[in-house]
Amino acid sequence: MMNLFQSNQLEFAWWVEINTNIPRCIYYFGPFDSEKEAQLYKSGYVEDLYQEEARDIVALVKQCQPDVLTIFQEKLEVLPSMCD
């Protein structure tokens, strides 16, 4: 039998969360079926953002369910990361 933690984990897919300081944004890419799949695609998303002149890029793979896929600077001051 599954415990509550395992049950809750199954509800969330894997996502790549990318934070940039220039521009100040949080981006979510996904969903992915596994952490391995998300890790595989992560570098491509980072490269795309870098080519679009984003800088100070930090990318993480998380299991979550973001409500918004792109959070811009003005919203970052009032919203925490959707996957915390």
Which distant-in-sequence residues (6+ apart) come within 8 Å of 5 by Cβ?
none
Confidence of residue 73 (pLDDT cuts 50, 70, 90): confident
Residue 55 lies in a domain: yes
Domain boundaries, position 34: 12-76
The mean pLDDT value of the chain amounts to: 86
Residue 3 lies in a domain: no
> What are the backbone angles phi and psi of residue 67, rounded to the nearest 5°?
-85, -30
| pLDDT tens figures, 39-71 | 999 999 999 999 999 999 999 999 999 999 999
Residue 82 lies in a domain: no
Residue 83 lies in a domain: no
* Tally of domains in the chain: 1
Residue 6 lies in a domain: no
To the nearest whole percent, how much of the chain has pLDDT over 70?
75
- The structure's pTM equals 0.77
